[in-house]
């Protein structure tokens, strides 16, 4: 009788052990299955949003990275494992204090290039570090000692014109200072034969040239605007041919 009970007890323990092992295997299969049946997204390309970030000098700007799903199902935001960096542009500089966090800090005014790398894919965005508290903008051929006097400048195919964009701004102490914003401002030309004139602003001063002789000589207005402000500065180019 006791022998029969022992056999029954052994069978029961064996069944319990088998059920426990099966439950453990089932849990493991489910854990693996969640990853196996629903694999992590793979991407054909990545993009930075915004594509043209504007960062205040000394301030920060949050960026996002989006991946284009390889299966054609749209885009997915990538929130971890991203290598962020910012390289110097023509004059601007910026840093990422923590490369895994998409938070860029502006350290020098001017254009910047923001870079993102993720799983062998790369993306770039060209932006600008801008100055706050702009009081006025002066567009002139002269930036000596911060002085700036707009005037009408003659321009033709053989006479280029160099122009500076000088900003007056209020510093942290409430004092007015001047700074060259030629490479971080936006230059717009309007008026007679404006389409025939181009201003290269990748260095200071900006170089404005006329490609071909104008069919209708006249004045072209150069307007300089700046990020996050309605303040503008102007100068006039007199097309003489």
Q: Per-residue pLDDT tens for 25-65?
A: 455 445 444 444 444 679 999 999 999 998 888 888 899 99
Q: H-type helices in the chain, by residue range?
A: 2-37
DSSP state of 36: H
Least confident of 66-75, 87-96, 195-204, 208-217: 87-96
Look up tokens 């990538």; give the residue. 78
Greater pLDDT, 9 or 77: 77
Q: Distance between CA atoms of 17 and 225, rounded to whole angstroms?
A: 77
| pLDDT attached to residue 66 | 96
Lowest mean pLDDT among 24-33, 83-92, 173-182: 24-33
> Residue 213: pLDDT band by 50, 70, 90 thresholds?
confident
pTM (2 d.p.): 0.64
Structure tokens at 64: 């996002």
The pLDDT value given to residue 8: 44
DSSP letter assigned to residue 68? E
Range with the poorest average pLDDT among 85-99, 115-129, 165-179, 184-198: 85-99
Shortest CA distance to 46 belongs to which of 22, 25, 64, 72? Answer: 64
Q: Which two tokens stand for residue 8?
A: 């029954």
Q: What percent of the chain is modeled with pLDDT above 70?
A: 78
Query: 200 by DSSP, 3-state: which?
Result: strand
Q: How many other CB atoms are found less than 10 A from the CB of residue 112?
A: 28
Share of the chain above pLDDT 90, in %: 33
What's residue 31's pLDDT? 47
Q: What is the mean pLDDT of residues 138-160?
A: 79
pLDDT of residue 1 exceeding 70, the answer is no
Q: Is 98 helix (H, G, I), strand (E, B) or coil?
A: coil
| pLDDT recorded at residue 196 | 87
Distance, in Å, from the CA atom of 71 to the CA atom of 48, rounded to the nearest integer, reads 20
**Half-sphere CA count of 1, side-chain side, radius 13 A:** 0
Is the separation of the CB atoms in 195 and 188 below 8 Å? no
Instruction: Report the chain's mean pLDDT, rounded to a whole number.
Output: 81
């Amino acid at each position: 009788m006791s022998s029969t009970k022992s056999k029954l007890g052994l069978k029961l323990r064996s069944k319990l052990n088998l059920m426990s092992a099966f439950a453990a295997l089932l849990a493991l299969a489910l854990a693996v299955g969640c990853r196996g049946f629903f694999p992590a997204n793979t991407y054909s390309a990545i993009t930075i949003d915004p594509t043209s970030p504007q960062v205040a000098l000394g301030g920060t700007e949050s960026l996002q990275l989006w991946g284009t799903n390889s299966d054609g199902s749209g885009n997915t935001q990538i929130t971890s494992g991203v290598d962020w960096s910012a390289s110097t542009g023509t004059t601007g500089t910026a840093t990422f204090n923590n490369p895994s966090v998409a938070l860029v800090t502006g350290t020098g005014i001017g254009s910047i290039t923001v870079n993102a790398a993720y799983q062998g894919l790369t993306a770039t965005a060209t932006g600008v570090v801008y100055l706050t508290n702009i009081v006025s903008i002066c567009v002139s051929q002269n930036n000596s000692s911060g002085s700036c006097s707009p005037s009408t400048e003659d321009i033709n195919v053989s006479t280029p014109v160099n122009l500076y964009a000088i900003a007056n701004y209020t510093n942290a102490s409430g004092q007015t200072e001047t700074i060259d914003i030629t490479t971080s401002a936006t230059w717009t030309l309007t008026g007679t034969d404006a389409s025939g004139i181009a201003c290269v602003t990748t260095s200071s001063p900006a170089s404005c040239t006329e490609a071909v002789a104008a069919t209708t000589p006249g004045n072209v207005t150069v307007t300089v605007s700046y990020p996050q402000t309605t303040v503008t500065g102007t100068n006039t180019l007199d097309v003489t041919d």
